[in-house]
Structure 1
Amino acid sequence: TSAPRRLGAMNAATAGSYPMASLYVGDLHPDITEAMLYEKFSPAGPVLSIRVCRDMITRRSLGYAYVNFQQPPDAERALDTMNFDVVKGKPIRIMWSQRDPSLRKSGVGNVFIKNLDKSIDNKALYDTFSAFGNILSCKVVCDENGSKGYAFVHFETQDAADRAIEKMNGMLLNDRKVFVGRFKSRKEREAELGAKAKEFTNVYIKNFGEDMDDDRLKDIFDKYGKTLSVKVMTDPTGKSRGFGFVSYEKHEDANKAVEEMNGTELNGKTVFVGRAQKKMERQAELKRKFEQLKQERISRYQGVNLYIKNLDDTIDDEKLRKEFSPFGSITSAKVMLEEGRSKGFGFVCFSSPEEATKAVTEMNGRIVGSKPLYVALAQRKEERKAHLTNQYMQRIAGMRAMPANAIINQFQPTSGYFMPAVPQVSG
């Protein structure tokens, strides 16, 4: 093990960024257990504890674990010799455990790489960039089709990150010129996009129909200032697709064109004229609008939407509405169906929380048709999950309060795999 690597691990550990002998192990196959990891890591030295992180409710593996050694040199040996080893058909990714999210997200020492060849995996990335300094983590971003062509490398120091950027930016990796730059948080990127948006010079025009070409569009938009390029988008036959772009030399001229031309008539059609956006910007804006609408919808239905289950098969939308109408003004009543058959539950939405509360009080447990109804305020998915988590935690707390011999045969330990600390006898 190299002295700089060991010194780096000690320095970072004493700075409190991660425990000195604790490793994060990621990209795990879902079937990997604590026992398998113990078998894998114990040759490196005495292991204190291992925990595969799991979903609190389903107990499914989340694909990562923490391995704690008794001694830092053993943890370092495991990191040096086992990183990217294949376990159950998948290469595991090992790094120092750094559980403080503020340190992970600070951006210090973090590098972003894009335009990567699809064949470059975590190991190849690690081998390429470890020449510049101690790496805390490195990850090629993937989906079900493999690499998405970009990655992140987190160095222990900003100096190492700066060296990597200086030497690697614009270099060829597997015949592809890669971009290597400082990692920027989403907030930083959005702020930069916002600043650029305010100084736009490219204008997007749509809905002018088929009767338009570059020269005519240039004549219309030249009066607002000097244009650098004008383009009407066409189909393979050369016919206008009804939209195009105008690029101005100055932002003020582009802004004036938008203000004066948007909503006016061209070829007998009302045209849209606005700032030309990159695909990423459009997607970010649409996402923001969608989230806003979602929040508005949630707040609008908060406390007025009822969930009704255990419905008799004979109950349809009309009968459901009729049963609940004595309690107030109903805006919607819906029995959920599958292939035309009732699924046994539905929703009723009232115009006020008071009406909804009254309906819950009066209708919960009432027999309609041949069955007693279950009626409650409808919960959002996140609320239901939080409620289930809370129930689970209460159940676990109840188990802990019971005598040990009462529960020992009911449950297998789920929290981790602990090794007794055996004293090392010298000689």
Structure 2
Amino acid sequence: MAQETSPPRSPFASTALYVGDLDPSVNEAQIFDIFKQIGNVMSVRLCRDMVTKRSLGYAYVNYNNTQDASRAIEELNFMPVNGKPVRIMFSYRDPSIRKSGSGNLFVKNLDKSIDNKALHDLFSPYGKILSCKIALDVSNVSKGHGFVQFDTEDAAHTAIEKINGTTLHDKQLFVGPFVRRQERDPPASKFNNVFVKNLSEITTDEDLQKLFGVFGPISSAVVMKEVDGKSKCFGFVNFENPEDAVKAVEDLHGTTFQDKELYVSRAQKKNEREAELKAKFEHERKDTEDKSPTNLYLKNLDDGIDDEKLKDMFSAFGNVTSCKVMRDPLGHSKGSGFVAFSTSDAALRAVAQMNGKMIGSKPLYVAMAQKKEERKAKLEAQFASRGPVNFPPPPLYSAVGQQLLYSRPAPMVPQQPAGFAMVRPNVGQMPGFFPPQRQQGHARVPFQQFMQRESTFHGSNSRTPAYGNNSFLAVLASHLASATPEQQRIMLGEQLYPLVDCIEHNHAGKITGMLLEMDQTEVLHLLESPEALNLKVSEAMEVLRDSQQRLIPPDLASLSLDDPLMS
């Protein structure tokens, strides 16, 4: 007795469905309500961004049998949900099915009006379609090509035979096997379109036709023009045969035509050209990084120094290939610049002899040029090795409670003598709070004791930071030269702290301590330049935030750096 046999199950059948092209407003409940009409839905998972929790535009629906899943594809595929047609196909855990390319077709020269459903309807008579998609640009407009994957190679071959070369919406279709990018012939080996630039303004389409026509039949030759008809001095020539195009590039590139040296090459698509330029830039950048450093960064330049004077200053150390003083939009010097040498030895000699040298009224800062990432890495390394050492605020700046916040006592300041005054924040003295005299056993010597009482260019009532005061910086630099390292740190810190406090009050002590680890001439530059100080404070805050993110326990991870527990 013959037994009944069920129809053979498709090797691609599954109980899991992929639902794509979803509108961002679609949620899990909507998807469940739609698919439960077909059968018992086991689960629905709408994929979302891990950070923003916004929909990624696709979901997975699981039935408890393949029959319901197949019927859902047949009845719901391309159904509009919230105004946008969805695309449904079986979900395969094995990526080899998708990546093999078996039964996968590439279709091009499609009219812009052809959508996923129209493409599916066009190919469905020739076999079971696993997936069907029109390629869209960023504006969701068709790129004029698409992809269709059948469940068998035979169905795909039949579709090629029946549709390739046919006309749809007045356009002749091309249908062929899909070839992955890495398996295609290199584009440089076969091309028809030639790009030519550096043309004379008088060159016409006819001139291009005659010039390139000697190499073979030409489909078109055009000189690109502006809106007013003026030549853009470049154009394109399309050959019928790739061999003729290659020959034209080889023979005409670098030749002279109408007193202009031509640049002739294979025409490239915009994305291909951008990718090539990016790769070239990355290669050159890597080569530059691999070489010994030859580029110097300068700060604290006197306002009277221009490019020519800068070159004269550094040419004694070797061949200067370029030098530049940075300027603002009004042409005023920013006090910084760059000098590039032809050899690294010359650059190293310049750093050794010029860094800290008094040029005009300022000590020059000279160092190897670094990118922002390198500067941040260096700052992180310093922070990691030394830890977040607080610099105590000057005593007149804070009340008694603030002294308790820091781990070490602040340097005590004697009553202000007439003459030179320490630069301090613009705050009044708290009622009932008087600056104490020097603490017993406290060995630090405040900055004022290093200053000559005869200095009178600051009054005794000065209370505000004086950016850009060259006379003050010159006096400060001279006193630093005769001070011990600990005294230098105190002197610089007393000037730097109130400026940092104005920018980042909650972490002024930590940031000041970090900045004092830098070269002395660079700290002097920060006292002079608000722009440079703002940049360094921002970099220091990044390092602090990164450090706190790594160190705080998980239950505190949601706190910001400005929360009390993080200070």
If the length of structure 1 is used for normalisation, what is the TM-score?
0.62
Deviates more, 1:239-248 or 1:49-58: 239-248
How far apart, CA to CA, are the structure 1 residues paired with 2:72 and 2:554? 38
- Whether 1:54 aligns to 2:48 is yes
Corresponding residue number in structure 1 for 2:118: 124
- Aligned to 2:11, what secondary structure does the other structure show? helix
Corresponding residue number in structure 1 for 2:360: none
Please point out which of 155, 168, 192 is paired with 2:150.
155
Please point out which of 70, 79, 100 is paired with 2:94.
100
How far apart, CA to CA, are the structure 1 residues paired with 2:56 and 2:73? 21
Corresponding residue number in structure 1 for 2:369: 331
CA contact (8 A) 1:8 1:134 kept: no
Shift of residue 26, structure 1, vs aligned partner: 0.8
Specify every segment of 5 or more residues in structure 2 that has no aligned partner in the other structure, as ranges. Answer: 1-5, 294-333, 337-354, 356-362, 391-496, 512-537, 558-567
CA contact (8 A) 2:249 2:266 kept: no
Please point out which of 169, 173, 191 is paired with 1:174.
169
- Whether 1:10 aligns to 2:10 is yes
- Whether 1:272 aligns to 2:262 is yes
Aligned residue identity for 1:98: Y
Shift of residue 133, structure 1, vs aligned partner: 0.7
Cα–Cα, structure 1 residues 332 and 114, in superposed 2: closer, same or farther, change >3 Å? same
Aligned residue identity for 1:358: Q
CA contact (8 A) 1:227 1:247 kept: no
Q: What are the residue-to-residue correspondences of 1:123-142 with 2, within 5 Å?
A: 123-142=117-136
Cα–Cα, structure 1 residues 378 and 155, in superposed 2: closer, same or farther, change >3 Å? farther
Cα–Cα, structure 1 residues 23 and 245, in superposed 2: closer, same or farther, change >3 Å? closer
Corresponding residue number in structure 1 for 2:500: 369
How far apart, CA to CA, are the structure 1 residues paired with 2:145 and 2:162? 18
CA contact (8 A) 2:215 2:247 kept: no
CA contact (8 A) 1:360 1:376 kept: no
Corresponding residue number in structure 2 for 1:77: 71
Shift of residue 272, structure 1, vs aligned partner: 3.0
Q: What are the residue-to-residue correspondences of 1:373-412 with 2, within 5 Å?
A: 373=511, 375=539
Aligned residue identity for 2:37: P
- Aligned to 1:43, what secondary structure does the other structure show? coil
Shift of residue 96, structure 1, vs aligned partner: 0.6
How far apart, CA to CA, are the structure 2 residues paired with 1:301 and 1:194? 30
- Whether 1:24 aligns to 2:24 is no
Residue identity over aligned pairs, in percent, reads 40
Shift of residue 158, structure 1, vs aligned partner: 1.1
- Aligned to 1:123, what secondary structure does the other structure show? helix
How far apart, CA to CA, are the structure 2 residues paired with 1:358 and 1:32? 50
Corresponding residue number in structure 2 for 1:111: 105
Shift of residue 356, structure 1, vs aligned partner: 6.9
Cα–Cα, structure 1 residues 139 and 250, in superposed 2: closer, same or farther, change >3 Å? closer
Cα–Cα, structure 1 residues 193 and 253, in superposed 2: closer, same or farther, change >3 Å? closer
Structure with greater Cα Rg: 2
CA contact (8 A) 1:327 1:359 kept: no
Deviates more, 1:112-121 or 1:161-170: 112-121
How far does the alpha carbon of each residue in 1:229-280 deviate from its partner, in whole angstroms, 9 at most, with x for none?
59573759998764466789998987676566544544444x1343332x43
Corresponding residue number in structure 2 for 1:86: 80
Q: Which has the higher strand share?
A: 1
Corresponding residue number in structure 1 for 2:278: 290
Cα–Cα, structure 1 residues 365 and 181, in superposed 2: closer, same or farther, change >3 Å? farther
Please point out which of 66, 72, 83 is paired with 2:60.
66
How far apart, CA to CA, are the structure 2 residues paired with 1:251 and 1:178? 21
How far apart, CA to CA, are the structure 2 residues paired with 1:131 and 1:284? 36
* Greater RCO, CA 8 A, separation 6+: 1
- Aligned to 2:272, what secondary structure does the other structure show? helix
- Aligned to 1:11, what secondary structure does the other structure show? coil
How far apart, CA to CA, are the structure 2 residues paired with 1:186 and 1:226? 30
RMSD between aligned residues = 4.7
CA contact (8 A) 1:232 1:240 kept: no
Q: How many residues align?
A: 337
CA contact (8 A) 1:22 1:75 kept: yes
Aligned residue identity for 1:148: K
Aligned residue identity for 1:67: V
Aligned residue identity for 1:188: E
How far does the alpha carbon of each residue in 1:35-66 deviate from its partner, in whole angstroms, 9 at most, with x for none?
22221111212222111111122211111111
- Aligned to 2:190, what secondary structure does the other structure show? helix
CA contact (8 A) 1:217 1:232 kept: yes
CA contact (8 A) 1:245 1:276 kept: no
